[in-house]
Structure 1
């Protein structure tokens, strides 16, 4: 007996879809800002918030269950053109390059754009199959506090210098043949999941008065 096909997010031929992945532990206003910026500046039809099983480059031992993180992301992402999904877990892919290979086969008439933060672009050369990723889909890099210089001087930026679009041409990115990338600047939200987890840990460590 064959297994049922995993439930996939909706997308229609000719649409442009942003792929915004992360562990989202926890999701916050900075994530929402980046997603909204991508939707507006890139002219996307939809953006998929891809709640991942875990970053292969990080320790995921303390990561909350994916169902818990999905529920939290739904509250942050809002409605409309945002779609929250655990697509990687459903397809059984662990690396971004594997996910993109599958998506370009499953949705041959959809234009995908990978949406990542400047901190991820700075370390993009450490991603498995990073050159193939850039050959599969265009990349939109969202500026983040403290990561601008590293992102624009890193190995990925140097390797694909000739493929960089001007920021004013960002709306053309989704229809541009890869490799292609754009660096989006603007208001930045000084939040990170690491910072929020540290705050929660400090709060949890505070002494509690006996309620009795």
Structure 2
């Protein structure tokens, strides 16, 4: 896990990053700016239980490519889940919370993930562990109104103008952040590489 100090505001941005691309970098940049983060942990996961059967590039390659695409010193590319055999986000967040008292974390995800968030293992627990910032993605803008998570935690939605204070809020708390969107996706990039 990257080093942090008490009182810091830290974003957690996890994914398979298979491959990482400019759309991921844009989400990270928006999160750093709009959430007033001291750090952002770019967490390269060893796998994704919801994408079982899909071929993943080696973890070391995904880490290397992530470091190459994200040059901001506040971004810490890490794959600490692999060394602890963590498969589910809920377990990762519980460990981060336990190991880093006094640090204010916020979970960051693209709006395309909000649509299927209720399929994640113990998704309610995730929402109750740390505040969540959902960053707009093409074709997913309305997910903040229609998703199961958005409806379930409607009472905990915070106005976007409060985003700089989100990490310090008690979970459940979440916001939807509008902004520039990249049309890139890892799925499309893999398809191009495979010539489909």
Alignment TM-score, normalising by the size of structure 1: 0.90
Structure 1: state its 5+ residue gaps: 1-7, 206-212
Aligned with 1:138 (options 131, 136, 147): 131
- Given that 1:54 and 1:60 are in contact with CA atoms closer than 8 Å, whether structure 2 keeps it comes out as no
Deviation at 1:151, TM superposition (A): 3.6
Q: Which residue of structure 2 lines up, in the alignment, with residue 167 of structure 1?
A: 160
Q: Which residue of structure 1 lines up, in the alignment, with residue 190 of structure 2?
A: 197
Q: Which residue of structure 1 lines up, in the alignment, with residue 121 of structure 2?
A: 128
Q: What CA distance in whole angstroms lies between the structure 2 residues aligned with 1:90 and 1:175? A: 29
Aligned with 2:96 (options 103, 119, 126): 103
**CA deviations over 1:118-160 (Å, ceiling 9, x no partner):** 0111111111111111111000001110111234211100011
Aligned structure 1 segments of 4 or more residues deviating by more than 4 angstroms: none
Deviation at 1:60, TM superposition (A): 4.6
Alignment TM-score, normalising by the size of structure 2: 0.97
* SS state at 2:50 partner: coil
Q: Which residue of structure 1 lines up, in the alignment, with residue 73 of structure 2?
A: 80
* SS state at 1:162 partner: helix
Q: Which residue of structure 1 lines up, in the alignment, with residue 140 of structure 2?
A: 147
1:33 lines up with 2:26 in the alignment:
yes
Q: What CA distance in whole angstroms lies between the structure 1 residues aligned with 2:34 and 2:72? A: 18
1:54 lines up with 2:47 in the alignment:
yes
How many positions carry a matched residue from both structures? 196
Structure having greater relative contact order (Cα 8 Å, sep ≥ 6): 2
Aligned with 1:116 (options 81, 100, 109): 109
Q: What CA distance in whole angstroms lies between the structure 1 residues aligned with 2:33 and 2:72? A: 15
Structure 2: state its 5+ residue gaps: none
Q: What CA distance in whole angstroms lies between the structure 2 residues aligned with 1:180 and 1:154? A: 16
Q: What CA distance in whole angstroms lies between the structure 1 residues aligned with 2:110 and 2:21? A: 14
